[in-house]
Amino acid sequence: MKFVEPIRDLKQIDAMKKLMIADENYRDHLLFTLGINSGLRVSDLLSIKWNLFLNEKGKLLKAGSAIIVTERKTGKKKRFKLNKSIRKAVESFYELFESVDPEAFVFLSRQSDSAGKKMPISRVQAWRTLNKYAKSVGIQDKIGTHTLRKTFGYHLYQKGIQVEYIQKMLNHSSAAITLRYIGISQDQLDEIYVDLNL
């Protein structure tokens, strides 16, 4: 696996979202928005079905509702709240359909399995989309599907969230792994020491 970077510039994140909306690419806008706001692995993102966002009456959940995903890699339950950005992206995509099958994948591809059931987009397709929009807004760093998860962690850290919380949210075994994963370099840590000046 190649090493990829988080998207550090909030203006570039916003520009990517705006381009996706301008292209009326609401599926990929939701994938991007959900990824950078939840910290889910791409395998978990691509396996999401509509029922995750629907209440028992088949209506979209409100912002602030709890979402629970079983992580494919670890088998652990990951719980997070549906924030306003995710809710808005879900709604924009959901409104394109007359109705949705609650058991259908959200991020559908044109491909079907041997039984004719529609499958989610592949990791490769997700990678292509991310790279296309990243390059369109001038991002030069290596971008991949892990970029979404890394961007989530990086911006939590930049907002002052303790690394131990981020470590728990990303399900890492140590704070050192989390810092390395989200792209916090020794140079950045050195700047903190220089700026402290008590």
What is the predicted pLDDT for the residue at 169?
A: 92
Asked whether residue 97 is domain-assigned, the answer is yes
Asked whether residue 32 is domain-assigned, the answer is yes
How confident is the model over 19-43, as a mean pLDDT? 96
What's the pLDDT band for 2 if we cut at 50, 70, 90?
Answer: low
Mean pLDDT for the chain?
Answer: 91
State the CATH number of the domain containing residue 60: 1.10.443.10
pTM of the model: 0.90
What's the pLDDT band for 186 if we cut at 50, 70, 90?
Answer: low
More confident residue, 192 or 70: 70
Q: Which domain holds residue 106?
A: 10-160
Asked whether residue 135 is domain-assigned, the answer is yes
Structurally, the chain folds into a number of domains equal to: 1
Which DSSP string corresponds to 73-123? TT--EEEEE--HHHHHHHHHHHTTSS---TTSBSSEEEEE-TTS-EEEPPH
How confident is the model over 8-25, as a mean pLDDT? 97
Catalytic residues: 41, 73, 146, 149, 172, 181
What is the predicted pLDDT for the residue at 187?
A: 63
Give 85-123 pLDDT, tens digit per residue. Answer: 999 999 999 999 999 999 999 999 987 777 878 899 999
Half-sphere exposure of 170 (CA within 13 A, CB side): 30
Asked whether residue 149 is domain-assigned, the answer is yes
**CA–CA gap between residue 193 and residue 172 (Å, rounded):** 25
Asked whether residue 174 is domain-assigned, the answer is no
For the chain, the residue count is: 198
Residue 1 has pLDDT above 60, yes or no: no
Contacts of 100 (CB under 8 A, 6+ apart): 50, 94
Asked whether residue 173 is domain-assigned, the answer is no
Residue 170 has pLDDT above 80, yes or no: yes
